[in-house]
């Protein structure tokens, strides 16, 4: 390089540097809309609002342990659902449980909160009517409350960002320390009240007074339970000392009171009612219950997340992952939601109201022997593979596909093996036996396309003895591709609010006990129960477990009541093996064996998991939750 060339380069560089202030570089980006233009137009606000709703941390069909809206172009999560981290279900193959990195929402929540705060800043400047402004204020408060609720139930006390922050060159000034857990819950309820005061009382797909009451009912019950049951899992450390996690037991009273009043507002609103409250018989009740979720356009729904179009970020994947193998329609990975025997046991039987009714398989009545089939034991013989569930709560029939029941007009075959005439058994081993010119197969049929249970082929067959029905679309064949399901998800429905009320009354010991018992029994009547049961803590919890199964409520019930670490201490979940009993030939008979879920390990919930780890403490300077 000659000197000349070098000086030319320097000249050129300095020319560029010094001319940087020229207007030619002050171009407005053409791929972004400036705030004034967006918020200056009411239509722009609507668009912005749609984006905020999309970000709401709703634990719906696209909620997964890695986050929300898990329906991108390739949402392959192996068909794992949050229910599989509870006692509701297991996956056909995975044994995953609650890990440190699971079920977090820190960054997505604060992103949403910032987006809402920007809108709140803009509301006073909008050229719209005052009532429209009030509605936007209320809607913003609702969305913000939803985000802080998601944070509080995972992290305890968090940084409360009340208004939008502006960066002025000093990063330190943007850091907001964590509030106490109590302050955070109080803030959630305060935002709910703001929403209630500003929102209208229509019922639509957007936030209303009623959705705000519903959120308040759920959040207040959560907070009250933490205060009441926190002592079941004591913790220590810096976060505890600063009250960033944990609340005094005395705080429970006010939270239960808040839950009761918010729930009552909804129960007495005259706008919501249970779907099909008086079924003719259990079979009708089971079908009603199924319909409630397949098409949530009914008056029980307070708030739903709608799905309209298939496609990336539009549809979801419940149908491809969870419908039984026989109806896979070319999709290679069906059948992954396996409801457990533990859940099935919880449902009442019509002849023993008010009690869980575990499935009894043998004449000795022993329901705790999980050691497998024994020829010496006398098993009760049944005429069909589902007779054993005949008297069980209709909601079991509406939630799970039971062996040899019809789905899309096909009998779903779930069989684990057979007992030979000599009393020896073939279980979960691909085999067949010829007797009197008829061939009997382990899995109830000859080929993998003809059954849906126990064969490990493809990980497509249930290993608990139950397949999945709730939320499944019965009306259309499976479309074998990503994000093709458009069934809506009910976030809040009246039955949950009624059970919130019942729980708040029974746990606080105050309130209208007669009404609480009535609403709980109304829900049972809808499931074809005819005998009322008394309002007790156990009855309310069983009712929640069966009525709200798979709605991603069980996880939080175990968390907020601090029951996870005792329910899951080396917990083995269980399966029910239906076996064809060939000793009974020529009669057709089946027996059942209670066993540990095959190929699985025990699960233990670590008490530290009651709070999730806060990310980025190295830079945000926040106090970490204990033991992370």
Partner 1 sequence: MNKLKYIFFATALALGMTSCEKDNYDGPTAGLSGRFVDVKTKELIEQDIILGTTIEIIEHGYASRTPQALIVKTDGTYANTMLFANTYTVTPVRGNFLPVDSQVVDIKGQTTLDFSVTPYIRVQDVSIVKSGTKVVATFKLEQNVINNVKKIGLYAHSDARVGEPMRLVASEINLNAPSDPTHVYTLEIDLAANSNTLKPGNKYYFRVGALIDAGEAKPNYRPAVRLDI
For the bound state, the minimum distance from the C-beta of residue 377 to partner 1, rounded and expressed in Å, comes to: 13
For the bound state, the minimum distance from the C-beta of residue 423 to partner 1, rounded and expressed in Å, comes to: 18
- Residue bearing tokens 């233009």: 37
Of 575, 60, 68, 94, nearest in space to 333 by CA? 94
Exposure b/e, 361-391, CB count within 10 A at least 16 = b: bbeeeeeeeeeebeeeeebeebebbbbbbee
Stretch of 165-173, 235-243, 406-414, 540-548 contacting partner 1, by CB under 8 A = 235-243
Interaction of residue 624 with partner 1, rule CB under 8 A = yes
The pattern of x and - marking residues 346 through 385 that bind partner 1 according to CB under 8 A reads -----------------------xxxx-------------
Interaction of residue 238 with partner 1, rule CB under 8 A = yes
Of 263, 279, 305, 278, nearest in space to 505 by CA? 263
| Alpha-helical runs (H) found in 207-340 | 209-229, 238-241, 252-267, 282-294, 318-322
Nearer to partner 1, 531 or 569 (CB): 569
Angle at 148 between CA 146 and CA 153, to 5 degrees: 100
Q: How far is CA 200 from the centre of its chain?
A: 28
Nearer to partner 1, 329 or 606 (CB): 606
C-beta of residue 572 within 8 angstroms of C-beta of residue 618: no
For the bound state, the minimum distance from the C-beta of residue 234 to partner 1, rounded and expressed in Å, comes to: 3
Query: From the list 14, 363, 378, 569, which residue makes contact with partner 1 (rule: CB under 8 A)?
Result: 569
Q: What is the DSSP letter of 579?
A: E
Nearer to partner 1, 187 or 568 (CB): 568
How far apart CA 334 and CA 324 sit, in angstroms, is 6
For the bound state, the minimum distance from the C-beta of residue 614 to partner 1, rounded and expressed in Å, comes to: 11
Report how many residues bind partner 1 under the rule CB under 8 A: 19
Burial (CB count within 10 angstroms: exposed 0-12, middle 13-18, buried 19+), residue 110: middle
For the bound state, the minimum distance from the C-beta of residue 575 to partner 1, rounded and expressed in Å, comes to: 13
C-beta of residue 82 within 8 angstroms of C-beta of residue 62: no
How far apart CA 242 and CA 246 sit, in angstroms, is 10
Nearer to partner 1, 588 or 620 (CB): 620
Termini Cα distance of the chain: 57
Interaction of residue 616 with partner 1, rule CB under 8 A = no
For the bound state, the minimum distance from the C-beta of residue 238 to partner 1, rounded and expressed in Å, comes to: 7
Say what angle helices 494-508 and 252-267 make with each other, to 10 degrees: 140
Nearer to partner 1, 381 or 566 (CB): 566
Q: What is the C-alpha radius of gyration for the chain, rounded to an integer number of angstroms?
A: 28
Nearer to partner 1, 316 or 574 (CB): 574
For the bound state, the minimum distance from the C-beta of residue 576 to partner 1, rounded and expressed in Å, comes to: 16
Query: From the list 35, 126, 176, 235, which residue makes contact with partner 1 (rule: CB under 8 A)?
Result: 235
Query: From the list 234, 277, 306, 481, which residue makes contact with partner 1 (rule: CB under 8 A)?
Result: 234
Nearer to partner 1, 109 or 609 (CB): 609
Interaction of residue 249 with partner 1, rule CB under 8 A = no
Nearer to partner 1, 206 or 232 (CB): 232
Spell out the residues 6+ positions from residue 12 whose beta carbon is closer than 8 angstroms to its own.
Answer: none
Stretch of 170-178, 228-236, 346-354, 447-455 contacting partner 1, by CB under 8 A = 228-236
Interaction of residue 456 with partner 1, rule CB under 8 A = no
How far apart CA 262 and CA 258 sit, in angstroms, is 6
Window 573-612: residues binding partner 1 (CB under 8 A):
596, 604, 606-607
For the bound state, the minimum distance from the C-beta of residue 293 to partner 1, rounded and expressed in Å, comes to: 37
Do you know the residue count of the chain?
628
- Residue bearing tokens 């156990």: 538
Of 112, 555, 106, 90, nearest in space to 336 by CA? 90
Interaction of residue 99 with partner 1, rule CB under 8 A = no
- Residue bearing tokens 């019965």: 474
Interaction of residue 486 with partner 1, rule CB under 8 A = no
How far apart CA 102 and CA 123 sit, in angstroms, is 36
Q: How far is CA 499 from CA 99, 473, 557, in A?
A: 30, 27, 12
Stretch of 177-185, 303-311, 323-331, 617-625 contacting partner 1, by CB under 8 A = 617-625
Interface with partner 1 by CB under 8 A: which residues? 234-238, 369-372, 569-570, 596, 604, 606-607, 617-618, 624, 627
């Amino acid at each position: 390089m000659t000197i000349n060339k070098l000086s030319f380069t320097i000249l050129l560089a300095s020319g560029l540097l010094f001319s940087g202030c020229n207007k030619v570089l002050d171009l407005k980006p053409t791929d972004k809309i400036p705030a004034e233009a967006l918020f200056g137009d009411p239509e722009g606000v609507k668009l912005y609002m749609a984006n905020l709703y999309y970000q709401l941390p709703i634990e719906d069909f696209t909620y997964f342990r890695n986050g929300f809206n898990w329906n991108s172009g390739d949402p392959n999560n192996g068909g794992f659902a949050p229910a599989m981290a509870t006692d509701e279900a297991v996956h056909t193959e995975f044994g995953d449980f609650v890990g440190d990195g699971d079920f977090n929402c820190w960054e997505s929540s604060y992103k949403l909160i910032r987006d809402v705060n920007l809108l709140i800043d803009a509301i006073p400047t909008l050229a719209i009517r005052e009532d429209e402004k009030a509605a936007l204020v209320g809607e913003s408060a609702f969305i913000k409350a939803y985000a802080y609720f998601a944070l509080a139930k995972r992290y305890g006390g968090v940084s409360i960002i009340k208004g939008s922050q502006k960066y002025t060159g000093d990063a330190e000034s943007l850091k907001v320390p964590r509030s106490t857990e109590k302050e955070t819950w109080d803030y959630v309820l305060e935002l709910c009240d703001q929403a209630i005061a500003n929102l209208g009382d229509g019922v639509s797909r957007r936030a209303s007074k009623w959705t705000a009451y519903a959120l308040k009912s759920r959040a207040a019950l959560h907070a009250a339970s933490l205060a009441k049951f926190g002592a079941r899992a004591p913790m220590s450390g810096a976060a505890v000392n600063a009250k960033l996690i944990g609340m005094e037991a005395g705080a429970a009273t006010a939270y239960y009171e808040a839950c009761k009043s918010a729930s009552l507002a909804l129960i007495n609103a005259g706008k919501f009612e249970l779907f099909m409250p008086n079924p003719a018989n259990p079979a009708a009740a089971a079908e009603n219950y199924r319909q409630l979720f397949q098409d949530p356009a009914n008056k029980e729904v307070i708030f739903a997340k709608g799905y309209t179009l298939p496609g990336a970020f539009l549809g979801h994947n419940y149908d491809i992952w969870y419908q039984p193998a026989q109806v896979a329609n070319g999709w290679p990975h069906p059948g992954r939601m396996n409801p457990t025997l533990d859940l099935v046991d919880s449902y009442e039987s019509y002849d023993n109201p008010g009690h869980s009714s575990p499935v009894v398989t043998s004449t000795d009545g022993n329901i705790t022997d999980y050691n497998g089939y024994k020829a010496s034991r006398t098993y009760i013989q049944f005429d069909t593979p589902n007779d054993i569930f005949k008297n069980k709560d209709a909601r079991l029939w509406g939630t799970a596909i039971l062996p040899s029941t019809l789905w899309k007009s096909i009998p779903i075959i779930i069989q684990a093996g057979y007992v030979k005439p000599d009393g020896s058994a073939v279980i979960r081993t691909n085999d067949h036996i010829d007797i009197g010119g008829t061939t009997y197969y382990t899995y109830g049929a000859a080929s993998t396309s003809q059954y849906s249970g126990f064969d490990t082929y493809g990980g497509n067959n249930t290993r608990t003895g139950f397949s999945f029905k709730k939320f499944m679309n019965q009306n259309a064949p499976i479309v074998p591709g990503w994000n093709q399901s458009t069934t809506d998800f009910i976030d809040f429905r009246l039955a949950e609010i009624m059970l919130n009320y019942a729980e708040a009354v029974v746990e606080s010991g105050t309130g209208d006990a007669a009404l609480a018992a009535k609403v709980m029994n109304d829900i049972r009547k809808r499931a074809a129960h005819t005998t009322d049961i008394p309002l007790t803590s156990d009855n309310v919890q069983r009712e929640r477990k069966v009525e709200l199964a798979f709605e991603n409520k069980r996880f939080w019930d175990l968390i907020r009541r601090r029951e996870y670490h005792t329910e899951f201490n080396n917990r083995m979940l269980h399966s029910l093996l239906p076996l064809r009993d060939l000793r009974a030939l020529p009669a057709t008979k089946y027996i059942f064996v209670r066993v540990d879920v095959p190929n699985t390990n025990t699960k233990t919930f670590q008490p530290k998991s009651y709070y999730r780890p806060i990310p980025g403490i190295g830079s945000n300077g926040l106090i970490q939750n204990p033991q992370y």
